[in-house]
Amino acid sequence: MKTIRYALEDGIATITFDEPGSPVNTMCQDWSQDMTEVTAQVVKDQAQIRGIVLASAKTTFFAGADLKGTMRLQPGDAPMVFRQIEQTKKNFRTLETLGKPVVSCLNGAALGGGWEVAMTGHYRIAVDDGKIQFGMPEVTLGLIPGAGGITKMTRLLGLMGAQPYILESRLFDPREAVELGVVHALVTDAGQLREKALAWIDANPTAIQPWDDKAYKMPGGGPSNPKIANALVVAPAMMKKTSRGLYPAPEYALAAMVEGALVDFDTALRIESRYLAKLMVGPVAKNMINTFFFNLNAIKSGQSRPKGFPRYKPAKVGVLGAGMMGAGIAYVQASRGISTVLKDVSLDKATVGKAYSAKITQACVDKGRMDPHEQAELLARITPTEQASDLQDCDLIIEAVFEQRALKATVTKEAEPMLTAGGFFASNTSTLPISGLATASARPDKFVGIHFFSPVDKMKLVEIIRGKQTDDETVARAFDYVQALGKIPIVVNDSRGFYTSRTFGTFVNEGTTMLSEGIPAAVIENAGIQCGMPVGPLAVIDETSLSLGTHVLDQTRADFAADGKTYEAGPGQLLVERMVKDFKRPGRAGGGGFYDYPAEIGARKTLWPTLRDLFEKPDVAWDIQEVKDRILYRQAVETARCLNEKVLTSVHDANIGSIFGIGFPAWTGGAMQFIYSTGIDAFCDRAATLASKFGAGFALTDAVKQTIRQHHPSY
């Protein structure tokens, strides 16, 4: 066997998982074959066996499914996939129904299929280490725990108790596992696992799983229990509201839980297998695995980070501007142990910025997530000030002032001399080219863009922008700083709007353009939600502020004029300008924009009724699929252009940036994966059709098409 070692000594059959050439054990093809072979050997040896031990030769127990293999599956492979899943379960069932005690020795993490392997044991022992994680994250990858995980966890915890661990992919550490009753004992060191396993085998010469006991009853009752039934009546509707029908995995998982609870154990396993097989050959799982596993791991491992520089974490960071962005940056830094100087034009404004951290931490204290001592320590790391001298010896200074080039230049010149030797300076601008802002710097090679998203404490993505003169060391340090904050960095090259703001702009601009064409606002907003965007384009521009969009348009016109050019604004941009200047509708913060915001607490916002009279045209024909395509294709086309222009340098930065930065639908796997999942030829054909009807924003040049093909991932 290639991936499993088998030994039978003194009546103990030890099955050790040890996949060669891999840091972890996975359910690869070789493992599946080996598991069948080792199970047959156990059956052959059963007269000599008094107990079975499942162990790992890796530093973790078992990592789960072979996701690269899943990426290669085609729809026609579903019957084969079903048979393979069923064979794996047959192996598990053979071991756990042999009448011999089986013990799983969990020396490290057991996730996904790894946790399902662990549950083959009648008795599970784990190392008492809070860093070890167990659980089933399959739904986050568009899959379900289909190797027995749904059926077993539901029978162990009940229909209601198992839902967070199946539908929400909640993970748990060894101590939590003991509290749940899914791990039976803990040891302080991995070296103690076998001794404890053998002791349990000696004390329990026969063993059966709870679900095989004739006296078994499901915790909390089955689907017919009135309390359970009442919850199940509304659960599918609530799930559909959240998933919008775009994510089949949670719906399939819930169905497998409920349907499985109505039948015997082995039938429940087959139900589970059918749902998993269908998901594994479908597009959504491939898209989500590609991005949330392979792309995300590429970023976490530093593939976008310049090589050759030691890891870096600043000890003291200055933040210029204590508004919403600056205050958010200060909180996130302080929560990660970084001493922060929060500077504004007055001490009062800086103190108000620090109060943002006090508000967040107090909410944590009230909910029991933080104790008052921890709160005090965090707040003590933030020093509000109006004095530039307090920035002395900062390792990094980030300006987060208003999007105005002259103001940014002023604060840069004032603060930069305060940096410690070897320190660097960053701008939190969302649109202004970094190379232009760096002209105010005495050291443009140590000047970089670090673009946070609002609200900073919740948004995971940070866009690092390399200016024309930014050196590799500065980019590497910025990358490390972002990771030290627990956030996800993508690295892009300089241009107007960089990647995220530029592509986000196409989303909102396509929405306002459609409104200018006379398409009803409600149609546009609902199309955005139906295709998977968090909110419609008109709602999101209200939140970010129409007046900000107008300000950016004014700055863009001024920049073009400075170069002797004229910027021709599109119909969507001109409509936003009219909303602000003619109708005094600057956005939510200014009292209203495309929506009205009632003062009553809990009242829902509504579209501004006057939009109908101003812009909608009853005689304009529209098609909902076409509206949805315009929203998604426009962003994907712009992403491909950014890749071609080398604003983006990798597909993984594009996919992660589009999902975490601008809310591109996760079911697509990101803007570039949307292209690849659609099929390059099919995407290009549809884009050409849209371009012929709605303009050059959808047009793909031969160079862009070539770039799309060159970056196609292979597995």
**Reduced to 3 states, what is the DSSP secondary structure of residue 366?**
helix
Residues whose CB falls within 8 Å of the CB of residue 484, separated by 6 or more in sequence, listed in order: 313, 314, 336, 338
Closest-CA residue to 132 (of 171, 179, 185):
171
**Reduced to 3 states, what is the DSSP secondary structure of residue 341?**
strand
Q: pLDDT for 121-132, tens place per residue?
A: 999 999 999 999
Can you give the pLDDT at residue 446?
Answer: 98
Q: pLDDT for 583-629, tens place per residue?
A: 999 999 899 999 999 988 888 999 999 999 999 998 999 999 999 99
- The residue-averaged pLDDT of 243-253 equals 93
pLDDT at 469 over 80: yes
- Assess contact for 641 and 266: CB atoms under 8 A: no
Q: pLDDT for 333-362, tens place per residue?
A: 999 999 999 999 999 999 999 999 999 999
Residues whose CB falls within 8 Å of the CB of residue 379, separated by 6 or more in sequence, listed in order: 334, 354, 357, 358, 361
CB neighbours of residue 387 within 10 Å: 11
Can you give the pLDDT at residue 517?
Answer: 97
Instruction: Look over the chain and give the mean of its residue pLDDT values, rounded to a whole number.
Output: 95
pLDDT at 563 over 90: no
Q: pLDDT for 131-160, tens place per residue?
A: 999 999 999 999 999 999 999 999 999 999
Question: What percent of the chain has a predicted confidence (pLDDT) above 70?
Answer: 100
pLDDT at 715 over 80: no
Which H or E run contains 659?
Answer: helix 651-662
Can you give the pLDDT at residue 237?
Answer: 85
Q: Provide the pLDDT confidence category of residue 581 given band limits of 50, 70 and 90.
A: very high
**Reduced to 3 states, what is the DSSP secondary structure of residue 287?**
helix
Which H or E run contains 703?
Answer: helix 702-710
Closest-CA residue to 512 (of 637, 608, 686, 631):
631
* Positive or negative: CA dihedral 440, 445, 447, 451: positive
pLDDT at 510 over 90: yes
Can you give the pLDDT at residue 551?
Answer: 84
The two structure tokens encoding residue 549:
């969009």
Q: What are the Cα distances from residue 259, in Å, to 150, 242, 275, 525, 626?
A: 11, 22, 11, 36, 37
- Assess contact for 466 and 666: CB atoms under 8 A: no
Q: pLDDT for 168-178, tens place per residue?
A: 999 999 999 99
Determine the distance from the C-alpha atom of residue 490 to the mean position of all C-alpha atoms in its chain, rounded to a whole number: 13
Can you give the pLDDT at residue 227?
Answer: 87
- The residue-averaged pLDDT of 478-484 equals 98
Q: Provide the pLDDT confidence category of residue 698 given band limits of 50, 70 and 90.
A: very high
pLDDT at 49 over 80: yes
- The DSSP line for 391-459 is GTTEEEEEE---S-HHHHHHHHHHHGGGEEEEEEEEE--SSS-HHHHGGG-S-GGGEEEEEE-SSTTT-
pLDDT at 555 over 90: no
What is the Cα–Cα distance from 501 to 499, expressed in whole angstroms?
A: 6
Question: What percent of the chain has a predicted confidence (pLDDT) above 90?
Answer: 90
pTM above 0.85, yes or no: yes
Lowest mean pLDDT among 35-49, 179-193, 561-575: 561-575
The two structure tokens encoding residue 205:
């010469």
- The residue-averaged pLDDT of 196-215 equals 96
For residue 194, which amino acid is it? R
Q: Provide the pLDDT confidence category of residue 403 given band limits of 50, 70 and 90.
A: confident
Lowest mean pLDDT among 19-23, 302-306, 597-601, 625-629: 597-601
Can you give the pLDDT at residue 160?
Answer: 94
* Positive or negative: CA dihedral 364, 366, 372, 376: positive
Can you give the pLDDT at residue 238?
Answer: 85
- The residue-averaged pLDDT of 47-67 equals 95
Q: Are strands 447-452 and 461-466 parallel, antiparallel or unpaired?
A: antiparallel
> Phi and psi (nearest 5°) for 447?
-115, 130
Ramachandran assignment for 419, one of left (phi > 0), alpha (psi -120 to 50 degrees), beta (any other): beta
Can you give the pLDDT at residue 497?
Answer: 86
Please, what are the domains in the chain?
Answer: 4-281 (3.90.226.10), 316-494 (3.40.50.720), 501-646+648-710 (1.10.1040.50)
Q: Provide the pLDDT confidence category of residue 231 given band limits of 50, 70 and 90.
A: confident
Closest-CA residue to 77 (of 295, 290, 285, 292):
285
